Amino acid sequence: MTHDPEKVIIVEGLTDKKQIKRVINDQVEIICTNGTLGVERLDELLETYDLDNRDVYILVDEDNSGLKLRKQLAKELPHAEHIHVSSEYREVATTPENVLATALIGKRIEVNPLFLL
């Protein structure tokens, strides 16, 4: 049996996931929602990833669909912590690595020190 990381970051898409993976050194599971979630898909995520019993971070784009998803996830996962990217960059995938690293380290997620220079 494998041990799942305690930390989970929920993102919208695969490009967001790739951007975060470049920056982190921590054992973190990154889940892609591929946009807004239906009730069935959300229930599936909650159960499959045991989200009620893990440290959950929500990191979505600062656009209408991202804000809608953040609101939906906040309702279902009140214990989740929110990580925000600047509206200047709008998307997680286009946020510079150093900016993303600073946001992640602020939530106690280990990042590659090269991105903090």
Instruction: Mention every residue, 6+ apart, whose C-beta is less than 8 A from residue 81.
Output: 55, 56, 57, 58, 107
Fold of 7-110: Dna Topoisomerase Vi A Subunit; Chain: A, domain 2 (3.40.1360)
- Per-residue pLDDT tens listing for the chain (117 residues): 345 689 999 999 999 999 999 999 999 999 999 877 888 999 999 999 999 999 999 999 999 999 999 999 999 999 999 999 998 999 999 999 999 999 999 999 999 999 997
Q: Is the pTM higher than 0.85? A: yes
